[in-house]
Structure 1
Amino acid sequence: MTLRLVTWNIKTGGSGGRLDAVVALLTRERPDIVALQELRDFQRHDHQRMREVAGTLGMTAVLAPSAFGQPVAVLVRPPLTITHRSAVRWRLHHAAAAVTVPTPAGPLTVVSTHLNPFRPYRRLREAYWLAHRYRAPLTLITGDLNSLDPQTGHSERLSRLPDLYRRRHLARDGGPDTRAIAAFQTAGFTDLWRTAGEGDGLTVPTSKGGGHEFSNAGMRLDYLLARPALAARATRARVIRGDEAEWASDHYPLAVTLDL
């Protein structure tokens, strides 16, 4: 069984006419599972907008509203079935939506989340909590983690950011803050870009979708983090570029193929 997953921060719910472009790209890509972040207003009127998007895509959605930020969701395409679902708001600036689906390799758990964009220490706490909450063998934690990875040099890119936004990515010693991704790795998660990625992996900013907080730095803030048993089954990870991906959001969608 080959399963394709796409994760995407669609920027404030695809407002300003961008949601149609988001749906068009996902319709063309036709992933089996989609993790979405920044779903502003998707929870209103009994999740009406979420239900409309899921219906258009022919998928089943699990939406997690947020107490302080914006909702996130996981969408699953039949014939996959959801055997367990959860929506987590506490301990997180935004939220986390999690589903478990049966596969020939065993139950697969996918978590869509969006870590704190403003404070590195709170982002670290969120990462630590999620990494220890979701520990089943076939687990993928994905989304906009607003974090820098420990294996990359970031000083030159960060120097291009305005002071206000650079501070979001600095540790107390003034160096790049990579603790959130390091916490996932210490807990046993593998960064799939390191094992199956193509190209530079940069997910922000898009060429026409805004993203002034990223300036012209080019950053990798969206991740696919898998437990070892699942990481061994990742065959291809790529950033989706071109067409609607250039303007539908300030983040590019990120896709992975899993051999299950």
Structure 2
Amino acid sequence: MSLTLLTYNIKNGGGDRLAAIARVITGERPDVVALQELCGTPQLGALTGMRQFVAGSWRGQPVGLLVARHLRVLAAGRVARPFFHAAAWVRIASPIGVITVISAHLCPYWGRLRQAEAGWLASFLRKGVLLGDLNTLDPWGEHAGELATLPEQYRRRHLNGREPDIRATALLARRGLVDVFRQCGTGPAPTVPTTQGGGHEFARLRLDYLWATRDVAARFTDCRVVTGGEAESGSDHYPLVGRAA
């Protein structure tokens, strides 16, 4: 048996795109979905036939998780730290064992806060998976060319001084988490922007991730960005999906 996980920033609650977003999600037949930008608490659980768990935000947008009904949820909650947005978690009995799955949306504006948020998440996650829009560049790629195409007000979000800001993802790697797309990803890596969903503040960047503790990462066999069809207009982010066995 396998476990399929998906992460998707649905852009400002989804609006009139919700039905299309639900079709993109169900088309991948995921067991767990991490969702970001759930303003208005859109009822994607009802549209997908999954159970929905939401973590509210003090100053940003809620995040949440969808869990397939065949999985047993052992516990669920909100990571209790002052995130700019929020972080939701569920502990599930899955085909690869009991794991915790986190949906997170890191601060879009300030790299130092993103780094702190990444530290809180790494401390919380003992065995499992961290999914979400981390608004952060990876520590291994060459990003200067793409960043140079952005207007200054958006480029500065991704800089630490004059260099690409990789502090949050570098911290996750130092803390022993594995970037699953780097481990077994196939196809193009950028998760923003989509071709028809907006995203003028983005260059072609990878901002959405699936990280896992080492024991769980070893179970993943595939990871890819979902493109084409309604994924092109459902949001300004593409979904990212991974499968473990």
TM-score, scaled to structure 1: 0.92
Q: Which moved more, 1:54-63 or 1:140-149?
A: 54-63
> Given the alignment, which residue of 139, 148, 158 partners 2:137?
148
In the alignment, what sits opposite 1:162?
151
Q: Report 1:68-217 matches (<5 A).
A: 68-88=59-79, 90-136=81-127, 139-172=128-161, 174-214=162-202, 217=203
In the alignment, what sits opposite 2:12?
12
Task: Measure how far apart 1:200 and its partner are.
Answer: 2.2
2:81–2:120 CA contact under 8 A, matched in 1: no
| Separation (CA, whole Å) in 1 of partners of 2:78 and 2:124 | 13
SS in 2 for 1:213: coil
Structure 1 or 2: larger strand share? 2
In the alignment, what sits opposite 1:41?
40
| Separation (CA, whole Å) in 1 of partners of 2:125 and 2:199 | 31
Runs ≥4 in structure 1, deviation > 6 angstroms? Answer: none
> What code does the residue aligned with 1:181 have?
T
Q: Which moved more, 1:101-110 or 1:119-128?
A: 101-110
| Separation (CA, whole Å) in 1 of partners of 2:95 and 2:240 | 24
Question: How big is each residue's C-alpha offset from its partner over 1:154-187, in whole Å with a ceiling of 9 and x where there is no partner?
Answer: 1111100000000001002x11010100010011
| Separation (CA, whole Å) in 1 of partners of 2:225 and 2:81 | 30
| Separation (CA, whole Å) in 1 of partners of 2:101 and 2:182 | 19
| Separation (CA, whole Å) in 1 of partners of 2:59 and 2:193 | 24
What is the alpha-carbon root mean square deviation over aligned residues?
1.1
| Separation (CA, whole Å) in 2 of partners of 1:157 and 1:233 | 32
Question: How big is each residue's C-alpha offset from its partner over 1:95-118, in whole Å with a ceiling of 9 and x where there is no partner?
Answer: 011001113442111100000000
| Separation (CA, whole Å) in 2 of partners of 1:56 and 1:213 | 29
TM-score, scaled to structure 2: 0.97
| Separation (CA, whole Å) in 2 of partners of 1:90 and 1:180 | 16
Q: Which moved more, 1:111-120 or 1:193-202?
A: 193-202
Task: Measure how far apart 1:88 and its partner are.
Answer: 3.1
Question: How big is each residue's C-alpha offset from its partner over 1:15-36, in whole Å with a ceiling of 9 and x where there is no partner?
Answer: 2x11111012122222111110
